[in-house]
């Protein structure tokens, strides 16, 4: 069973969407497990303060380091071999490749959701194994980012997708976006299904799909297309 721990100031947000659809079914089937840890539980004062001001001045607050550290230590008691991943806009970009790497972590993942301006650097230095961002935009907190991150990881966990989809080619394999898909009817609002897809000629279909994948990638993701060309030469 793949183990996920989420460390957050907003435990009520979970399991949320992870309880639905494919990830929800996989959880019900015992393929993965979620434990949510409330960082605020370690707050000492009557107001349960979880933030503090930043040394050197400036706007914004930081999560109190001792609360974050205590929560990580508690999660590690249950998952001693897990890696700690801190979700922050200043992290390494998350990717399909990273999602596979994280899915293969035997000890599971402890996901730390950042809030306010983030966390004290010493907590990162002492406890964090990976810092990841889900894209070049700023979210209100790591909780929002942890849903797509966990979903993308779980797709790579044995059994989650069922056997039908596992060996299926998909976007970001070999640095190409996927080709377009069609279903019935043959004609829809004046547009026809490309003839080759109805030909039954599997070599021709594969060739057409590759061409379309290249065309699409070149148009919407020139950066990825460049990578594809570079890797193809090797």
CA distances from 230 to 215, 217, 222, 233 (A): 16, 14, 12, 5
CA geometry: angle 175, 178, 183, nearest 5 deg:
170
Gyration radius from the chain CA atoms: 22
Q: What is the closest distance, in whole angstroms, from the C-beta atom of residue 8 to ligand 6GU in the complex?
A: 12
Q: Which residues ranging from 186 to 225 are in contact with ligand 6GU (CB under 6 A)? A: none
Instruction: Of 85, 88, 84, 86, give the one whose Cα is nearest residue 136.
Output: 88
Over the window 82 to 101, marking each residue x when it contacts ligand 6GU by CB under 6 A and - when it does not, the resulting string is: -----xxx------------
d(CA 50, CA 141): 14
Closer residue to ligand 6GU, CB minimum distance, 18 or 176:
18
Closer residue to ligand 6GU, CB minimum distance, 103 or 111:
111
Q: Is 71 in the site for ligand 6GU (CB under 6 A)?
A: no
Closer residue to ligand 6GU, CB minimum distance, 65 or 89:
89
Q: Which tokens is 156 given?
A: 């790579």
3-class state of residue 29 by DSSP: coil
CB atoms closer than 10 angstroms to residue 229: 13
Q: Which residues ranging from 103 to 122 are in contact with ligand 6GU (CB under 6 A)? A: 114
Number of residues that bind ligand 6GU (CB under 6 A): 13
Interacting residue with ligand 6GU among 28, 138, 167, 191 (CB under 6 A): 138
Q: What is the closest distance, in whole angstroms, from the C-beta atom of residue 114 to ligand 6GU in the complex?
A: 6
Cβ-in-10-Å burial (0-12, 13-18, 19+) of 99 comes to buried
Interacting residue with ligand 6GU among 31, 36, 139, 214 (CB under 6 A): 139
Closer residue to ligand 6GU, CB minimum distance, 4 or 213:
4
Closer residue to ligand 6GU, CB minimum distance, 67 or 132:
132
C-beta separation of 220 from 179 below 8 A: no
d(CA 26, CA 4): 13
Q: What is the closest distance, in whole angstroms, from the C-beta atom of residue 13 to ligand 6GU in the complex?
A: 14
Site residues (vs ligand 6GU, CB under 6 A): 87-89, 114, 133-135, 137-139, 141-142, 145
């Amino acid at each position: 069973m793949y183990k996920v721990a989420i460390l957050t100031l907003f435990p009520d947000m979970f399991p949320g969407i992870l309880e639905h659809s494919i990830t929800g079914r996989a959880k019900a089937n015992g393929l993965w497990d979620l434990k949510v840890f409330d960082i605020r539980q370690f707050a000492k004062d009557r107001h349960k303060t979880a933030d503090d001001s930043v040394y050197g001045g400036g706007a914004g607050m930081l999560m109190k380091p001792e609360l974050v550290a205590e929560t990580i230590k508690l999660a590690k008691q249950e998952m001693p071999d897990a890696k700690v991943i801190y979700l922050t806009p200043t992290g390494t970009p998350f990717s399909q490749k990273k999602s596979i790497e994280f899915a293969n972590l035997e000890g599971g993942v402890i996901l730390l959701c950042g809030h306010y301006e983030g966390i004290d650097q010493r907590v990162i230095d002492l406890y964090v194994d990976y810092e990841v961002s889900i894209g070049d935009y700023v979210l209100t907190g790591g909780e929002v980012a942890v849903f797509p991150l966990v979903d993308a990881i779980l797709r790579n966990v044995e059994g989650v997708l069922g056997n039908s989809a596992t060996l299926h080619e998909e976007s970001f394999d070999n640095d190409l976006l996927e080709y377009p898909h069609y279903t019935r009817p043959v004609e829809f609002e004046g547009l026809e299904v490309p003839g080759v897809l109805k030909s039954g000629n599997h070599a021709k279909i594969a060739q057409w799909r590759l061409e379309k994948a290249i065309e699409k990638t070149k148009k919407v993701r020139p950066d990825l297309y460049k990578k594809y060309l570079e890797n193809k030469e090797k």
